[in-house]
Structure 1
Amino acid sequence: MALRRVAIDTHHENVAYLHRDCAIYRAEGFKALAKVEVRANGKRILAVLNVSSDPRIVQCHELGLSQDAFERLGVEKGHPVTISQAEPPESIPALFRKIEGERLGREDFLAIVRDIAAHRYSKIELTAFVVACNRAELDREEVYFLTEAMVATGRRLDWHAPLVVDKHCIGGIPGNRTSMLVVPIVAAAGLVFPKTSSRAITSPAGTADTMEVMARVELPFDELTAIVQKHKACLAWGGTADLSPADDVLISVERPLSIDSPGQMVASILSKKIAAGATHLVLDIPIGPTAKVRSMPEAQRLRRLFEYVAQRLHLSLDVVITDGRQPIGQGIGPVLEARDVMRVLENDPLAPNDLRQKSLRLAGRLIECNPDVRGGDGFTIARDILDSGRALAQMNALIEAQGSRHFDHHHPPLGKLHFDVLAPADGVVIGIDNLQIARIARLAGAPKVPSAGVDLFHKLGDTVQAGQPLYRVYADFPADLEFARQATQRSTAFALGDASQMPHVFVEF
């Protein structure tokens, strides 16, 4: 059969297309959603079969492949291909045992993760694995085995340095762009800090989305390596590095289901960091009423699980529990968050102080990984680097090395349309719903539309008067603006009341 590229994004799932009147389809008895094996030029992929009656999608003599599947097979359109019914992945018996609630061993997880990374699992099988691991929560040994397997199935970087640092937040806090400040501060202190970050999945911006406003982030691996060797750091998208590839496949199922179990979270984060070559990691766990982690006991349980797995994998880990009661910074969305980052780097009076202070403290913890730095001195060193302009110079060097997009943060290209959300009454801001404010920013278009998002005018503890703007919503398209407006009418995400009603949180800094 002749190969045809079907321009459909199936999001990490290989999909094959046959015409209903195709002779092979009739002869072999293929069924829609059956798993098939496609071979060409010595390569093979497994795919889920879709059947079409429309010759505009695929003709009788053709086999169509979705975008991802076409790229994985790696041959030109029109190339001869063969198709056959696929054998089930070898790890299916282990998957069934996990569905039954059994505890799995090292070889079981390695087999499952290998099949996942090779795209041998359908979305249905992936969902079964994710739900089974969530329902019968993994014990800490299983989390270790899962993490180890995820590292083993992808590339593992070696920077040929005794000390390679990284920083990660478990997420859930809008505007929390500390990595883009921590990286230039710590690199300016002389530490190797290759930061490979993800794009947003359910948030209004990821680190890669925000950095992309200012510079290229999709860098070939050799170019990324050269930048780190010259500048000791990078701020790049991690998708080109093939780090823990099974994690990206699992995330494509976990996020739509809103499943983020502790075991899978630990495996996801630590596998990526270890594969990226980190020797020392500072991990940020925010807690708050609308954060991923809602209480200190829950945070401490998660900390212990992270520490156990990190210790088994010989990764030095420093967990920091932080204030997650509200967004960090003023802007939510790629352009707005990039503006905030540059204001902090330039020591601008308009810079959000909460973003500055949190970044300095996290950077200080990483600087103290250097055995030549005395414990407790990291914050002062970080502050001096930021205040002196060395961090700004480091960031500008990274932007130029990665390919500057000439972002003007003094006049950021914000959405052409906007509206203000007003306080309904006098009062003190006693609550900001992280989930709702993030949802409003996404409905406005972020991160797909970088100029869209939410610009906060007030934070917890601020006194406001009726009719005073709480925040401004930016969008580029009327439909997006209207979706966001409707969301704010259902809930503004702000709660007003008396100062005594403001939630308290006990954090480490």
Structure 2
Amino acid sequence: MLENYLHLIRPGIDTHQELVVYMRQDCHVCRSEGFTAHSRVRIQVGERSAVATLNIVKGDFLPHNQAALSEAAWRKLKPEEGEKAYFKHAPAVDSMSAVRGKLYGKPLTTAAAKSVIEDINAGHYSDIQLAAFVAACSGNRLTLDETVAITGAMIDAGQRFKWNSERVLDKHCVGGLPGNRTTPIVTAIIAANGLVMPKTSSRAITSPAGTADTMEVLTDVQLSYDRMAEVVKQTGGCLAWGGSVSLSPADDVIIRVERALDLDSEGQLVASVISKKVAAGSTHVLIDIPTGPTAKVRSPEFAARLSELLIGTGAAFGLKVKTIISDGSQPVGMGIGPALEARDVLKVLQCQTDSPQDLRSRSLAIAAALLEMSAGNGQRTGTGQSAGNEWLTLATDTLDSGRAYQKFQEICLAQGRFSEPELAAHRRTVKATRGGIVSSVNNRILARLASLAGAPNAKAAGLDLHVRLGDCVTLGDPLLTVYAEAPGELEYALDFLMSHPDGVHIGEEAV
């Protein structure tokens, strides 16, 4: 009688975060267990186990005695090449009853939210089940109580930092605004003033750059829990990738499915932000909500509702949250893409004469508001007003004196290195085909253009935006420059721009 095991191989198949196992339809394990395509299968390797989705293979891709793992499954199980793995049907996921109930309008209880998040964190949900949960929470379907329940469950599912400081500062931007890379500048200003700011950030999934992608151009961002703690102890701050320290691991899985479905949930967004801030050990958080016709948040009403939910959820966990509703009508800075945004960050920190002034001013405003919060003020929601003059003066002096740049270098070196960004060799400047006034800039089209050029996977790819809203241009003036690491990617991006010319719209004729 054949034993219920197969030998594992690693073919190098990238399924992002989804755990997938591949086996022959006619292998003895598949036949004896009655597995079919998309079965949920528990894999046991020594003392380690995981649940994966089964893909059935026909033909000679696999021998009868082998099973293949996706890269995500291989990282999870950490087997040796050829090691034995045992297979059986995964148990039913009981928490799915709470998801089905929510789809039919039944509120999520604290216990139900905990059960769902625990199962997601343990890898028990298939992508289909995750999609059902995302749909159940989409739009404004989550109440404040449900959002608090999900947030608490996410916090409990990951690691949590505790710092020896009464006030631990943090900031976040809800996103949707290309180039808005204020975080590295703000963190340097705050830490240079002797305050604690353990900043963790995300990578991009569908956007051309996340803060972690941009910082990875300049330094190492994959820090272990202990390494991150040491960097913060040494420098007062850090600029690390949140995924490497597992602060809210279930959230990373949920975000992947939300992006794939292009479904936004107000409550889930809030749970994502607040859970990671609480897990990072923060006590005072400033949240930037860019609002504009092509930003993630498109109306003042939505921004106000989101602000209220962020503040209320933070308060449930003792977190002091202040929000700023900012201008989201156009990208910030010149560059869109990891290396191009890193270049802009360095220009501001180094106070270069050609540094993007909008990135500088936004960073100073956020830093000033955080400095004010550190003194015990500014704990109410804002509407974009500048912080008190003394705090703005302090933030500006910290930047202009070079102390912020010195602290930034110190943080980077503590994380492993400090490197200068390099831009892609293949580039093309797109010029105005008529004269007039720049009347609109489409954030989504420009973000897509930078992504098609290769960002964020190609760190040196992206684009430079040479004009701003209200600028007067004449025929032949440069509008933007696209950068790519390969000629094919450059042409692919430019073809997209030809079919989407309203990334930068020229309105009325200039006088």
TM-score tier, shorter chain, comes to over 0.9
Q: Which amino acid aligns with 1:40?
A: V
Of 440-449 and 413-422, deviating more is 413-422
Shift of 1:5: 2.7
Aligned match of 1:203: 207
TM (norm. structure 2) is 0.94
The 5-angstrom pairing of residues 77-96 of structure 1 reads: 77-96=81-100
Aligned to 1:11: 16
Q: Quick check: 1:101–1:136 contact (8 Å CA) kept in 2?
A: no
**Residue pairs, 1:100-249, within 5 angstroms:** 100-134=104-138, 137-249=141-253
Work out the CA distance in 1 between the residues paired with 2:69 and 2:507.
56
Provide closer, same or farther for how the CA distance between residues 331 and 135 of structure 1 changes in structure 2, counting only shifts above 3 A.
Answer: closer
The Cα of 1:453 is off from its aligned counterpart by 1.1
* Unmatched 5+ stretches in structure 1: 501-509
Q: How many residue pairs were aligned?
A: 495
Shift of 1:54: 4.0
Aligned partner letter, 1:101: G
1-structure distance, mates of 2:20, 2:498:
40
1:277, distance to aligned residue in structure 2 (A): 1.0
Q: Tell me, in whole angstroms, the C-alpha distance in 1 between the residues paired with 2:307 and 2:184.
A: 24
> Is the CA contact 1:417–1:477 (under 8 Å) kept in the aligned structure 2?
yes
Contact persistence 2:435–2:509 (CA under 8 A): no
After TM superposition, the score normalised by the length of structure 1 is 0.94
Shift in Å, 1:90? 2.4
Matched AA of 2:401: S
**Aligned equivalents of 1:52 and 1:286: distance in 2?**
47
Residue 415 of structure 1 pairs with residue 424 of structure 2: yes
Q: Name the counterpart of 1:465.
A: 474
Q: Find out whether 1:379 has 2:392 as its counterpart.
A: yes
2:319 aligned with 1:315, yes or no? yes
Q: Does 1:252 align with 2:256?
A: yes
Say if 1:426 and 1:465, in contact at 8 Å, map to a contact too: yes
1:271 Cα shift?
0.9
* Residue matched to 2:54: 49
1:405 deviation in Å?
A: 4.8
Measure the CA separation in 2 of the matches of 1:63 and 1:176: 44
Partner of 2:505: 495
- Aligned-pair Cα RMSD in Å: 1.7
Deviation at 1:176, TM superposition (A): 0.4
* Aligned partner letter, 1:78: G
Q: Helix, strand or coil for the counterpart of 2:101?
A: helix
Q: Distance in 2 between matches of 1:8 and 1:223?
A: 30
**Counterpart amino acid of 1:94?**
A
**Aligned residue in 2 for 1:403:** 416
Tell me the alpha carbon deviations over residues 301-341 of structure 1, each in whole angstroms, 9 at most, x when there is no partner: 11111111111111000100101100000111111111111
| 1:33 matched to 2:38 | yes
> 1-side partners of 2:136 and 2:485: how far apart?
41
Contact 2:409–2:418 at 8 Å: present in 1 too? no
- Structure 1 segments, 4+ long, off by >6 Å, are 372-375
C-alpha deviation, 1:269, in angstroms:
1.0
* Bigger Cα displacement from structure 2, 142-151 vs 217-226: 217-226
Correspondence for 1:425: 434
Q: Partners in 2 of 1:306 and 1:406 — Cα distance? A: 36
Give percent identity, aligned residues only. 44
- C-alpha deviation, 1:157, in angstroms: 1.2
Q: Deviations over 1:457-489 (max 9, x none)?
A: 110111100121111111121111111111221
Runs (5+) with no aligned partner, structure 2: 379-386
Measure how far apart 1:71 and its partner are: 2.0
Cα shift readout 1:77-131 (whole Å, capped 9, x = no counterpart): 3332211111111212212212222111000010000000011000000001101
Correspondence for 2:26 among 4, 21, 24: 21
Task: Report the CA distance shift for 1:489/1:186 in structure 2 as closer, same or farther (over 3 A).
Answer: same
CA displacement, residues 425-448 of structure 1 (integer Å, 9 cap, x when unaligned)? 111111100000111111111111
AA of the residue aligned to 2:102: K
How far apart are residue 136 of structure 1 and its match? 7.2
